[in-house]
């Protein structure tokens, strides 16, 4: 069975894109067929897997707005088993262009339904907002992964996000679940990080992944080389933890079955 997971948090800089690219690449390295869907106009997932935006022929914009067959927008990455539907800055217009269209919230869902059978995991990298692109992602997804940065205002804005999840559950996608909450950019040298972990665990309890992503400079370097961490530096701490996370994600799915 395939699973569609939206990686979402309306805060920017919490590790959504880093998680999409590296969880995706690690799942692929474990033999899963993975499709990344970049639905952030910044296109950082797209460049993060080594795709030059200037060379993109069909992007997620064409799928959502021009009703291009999603198969026509899938590009292979350098990592075996890892494909992507890329995004370019053109997508920035989509928030406005979608407003007057019919069934604007379900466009992504309909498109991904055509691809579902071909992948084990489809990971959607959401933009830092709760606009129509994120609503499309939550409507298309089976579940969400929420990355939370281990920093002072970590829980700020979360009630807004959870409220949006509830609204989507009520009106657009009754079966949407919270897949897991991922703590990112943990710095073991500060007490603050430990406090944040405790607070997040109190709030989300068993939904919090055991794997905690530490700050790792190699993770922040890899995107500028257009590589996932497992190819950029397979021996780094970053590669180790994202591989651990991928195993945890697979395990939860097996346990649920
Ligand atoms: P988002 O997609 O939520 O905006 P990103 O994944 O782009 O967040 O991360 C924001 C910035 O932090 C990027 O420059 C990224 O390279 C860096 N970063 C993300 N995770 C880590 C980490 N675990 N260690 C070090 N830097 C990280
Ligand atoms: Mg991002």
Name every protein residue with a CB atom under 6 angstroms from any ligand 1 atom.
Answer: 12-18, 44, 128, 184-185, 213, 215-216, 219-220, 223
Q: According to the model, what pLDDT value does residue 120 have?
A: 98
Ligand 1 centre and the CA of 13: distance in Å?
Answer: 6
Per-residue pLDDT of the chain (257 residues; tens, 9 = 90+): 789 999 999 999 999 999 999 999 999 999 999 999 999 999 999 999 999 999 999 999 999 999 999 999 999 999 999 999 999 999 999 989 988 888 899 999 999 999 999 999 999 999 999 999 999 999 999 999 999 999 888 888 899 999 999 999 999 999 999 999 999 999 988 888 888 899 999 999 999 999 999 999 999 999 999 999 999 999 999 999 999 999 999 998 888 76
Coil/strand/helix, residue 76: strand
What is the best residue among 15, 128, 245 to mutate for testing ligand 1's pocket, by most ligand atoms within 8 Å of CB? 15
Kindly report the CA angle at 91 between 86 and 97, in degrees rounded to 5? 140
Q: Which ligand 1 atom is nearest residue 185's CA?
A: 23
Q: What is the pLDDT of residue 242?
A: 98
Q: How high is the pLDDT of residue 37?
A: 98
Alpha helices in the chain (DSSP H): 16-29, 44-48, 60-64, 94-97, 107-113, 132-140, 158-171, 191-204, 217-221, 229-232, 237-256
Q: Report the candidate in 196, 194, 193, 233 with the shortest Cα–Cα distance to residue 217.
A: 233
Which of 8, 18, 133 is the pocket-test mutation for ligand 1 (most atoms within 8 Å of CB)? 18
Q: How far is the CA of 257 from the centre of ligand 2 (A)?
A: 31
Cα 103 to ligand 1 centroid, rounded to whole Å: 33
Of the ligands numbered here, which is closest to the C-alpha atom of 9?
Answer: 1
Query: If you search the block for the tokens 């997932």, which residue do you land on?
Result: 45
According to the model, what pLDDT value does residue 194 have?
87
Ligand at minimal distance from the CA of 39 is: 2
Distance of CA 185 from the midpoint of ligand 1 (Å): 8
The pTM of this model reads 0.97
Token readout for 165 is 């999840």
Q: Which atom of ligand 1 is nearest to the CA of 220?
A: 16
Q: What is the pLDDT of residue 63?
A: 97
CB 11 within 8 A of CB 157: yes
Domains of the chain are 3-256 (3.40.50.300)
Q: How far apart are CA 109 and CA 112, in angstroms?
A: 5
Please report the pLDDT score of residue 33 as a whole number: 98
| ipTM for the whole predicted complex goes beyond 0.95 | yes
Distance 182 CA to ligand 1 centre (A): 13
> What is the secondary structure of 176-244 as a DSSP string?
-EEEEEEEESB-TT-HHHHHHHHHHHHHHGGGB-S--PBP-HHHHHGGGGT--HHHH-TTSHHHHHHHH
Instruction: Give the ligand with the smallest distance to the CA of 87.
Output: 2
């Amino acid at each position: 069975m395939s699973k569609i997971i939206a990686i979402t948090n309306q805060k920017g800089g919490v590790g959504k894109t880093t998680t999409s690219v590296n969880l995706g690449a690690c799942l692929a390295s474990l033999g899963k067929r993975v499709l990344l869907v970049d639905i952030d106009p910044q296109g950082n997932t797209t460049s993060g897997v080594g795709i030059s935006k200037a060379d993109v022929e069909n992007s997620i914009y064409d799928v959502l707005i021009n009703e291009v067959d999603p198969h026509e927008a899938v590009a292979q990455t350098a990592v075996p088993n890892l494909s992507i539907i890329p995004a370019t800055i053109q997508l920035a217009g989509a928030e406005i262009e979608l407003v007057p269209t019919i069934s604007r919230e379900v466009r992504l869902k309909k498109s991904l339904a055509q691809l579902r059978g071909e992948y084990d995991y489809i990971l959607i990298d959401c933009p830092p907002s709760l606009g129509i692109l994120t609503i499309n992602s939550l409507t298309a997804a089976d579940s969400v992964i929420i990355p939370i940065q281990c920093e002072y205002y970590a829980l700020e804005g979360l009630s807004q996000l959870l409220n949006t999840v509830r609204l989507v559950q009520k009106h657009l996608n009754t079966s949407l679940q919270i897949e897991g909450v991922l703590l990112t950019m943990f710095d073991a040298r500060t007490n603050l990080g430990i406090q944040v972990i405790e607070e997040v665990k109190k709030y989300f309890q068993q939904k919090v992944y055991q794997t905690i992503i530490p700050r790792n400079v190699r993770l922040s370097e890899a995107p500028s080389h257009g590589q996932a961490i497992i190819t950029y530096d397979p021996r780094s701490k970053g590669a180790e933890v994202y591989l651990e996370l991928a195993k945890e994600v697979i395990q939860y799915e097996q346990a649920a079955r």
